[in-house]
Amino acid sequence: MAASMALVAGAPTLPLSQPRSVIGGQVISALVGVSAGTLSHSLWVAAIAGGLALGAMLATRTSHSPAAATAVIGALTTSGQASFVVCAGIAAIALVAAGVIRSRLTRASYPAYWW
């Protein structure tokens, strides 16, 4: 999530920083990671989950490269998978909200677009 916030705060005009990509990318990656984790919690499966998450984000037009790490963590999670996905979504919404609040305070333009 720190890399996601770095994009939102440091490069707010990039497509990777827009709400669709941040929220969608994080949630999709969490789902992919948790799904992969049902097969095994090995490092190999976690690495494959990261790659699958990137593919899923490309397919859904929600590219957000830092979210690949969320898939890796989700694959390694041994309990509380549903809460992991929910927490990833809430955290992504909080990041976008922080970006919007920051833009209102500094008169910056974030987001460039919502969808």
Residue 18: what pLDDT?
Answer: 96
Neighbouring C-alpha atoms within 13 Å toward the C-beta of 93: 7
Q: What is the DSSP letter of 17?
A: G
Please give the Cα distance from 27 to 97 (Å, whole number).
16
pLDDT over 90 at 115, yes or no: no
Confidence class of residue 95 from pLDDT cuts 50, 70 and 90?
A: very high
Stated pTM of the model: 0.93
Per-residue model confidence (pLDDT) at position 41: 93
DSSP string for residues in 48-77: HHHHHHHHHHHHTT---TTHHHHHHHHHH-
Task: Assess whether pLDDT exceeds 90 at residue 107.
Answer: no
What's the pLDDT tens digit per position in 20-49? Answer: 999 999 999 999 999 999 999 999 999 999
What pLDDT score does 109 carry?
87
Asked whether the predicted pLDDT for residue 108 surpasses 90, the reply is: no
No. of helices (H) and no. of strands (E), the chain: 5, 0
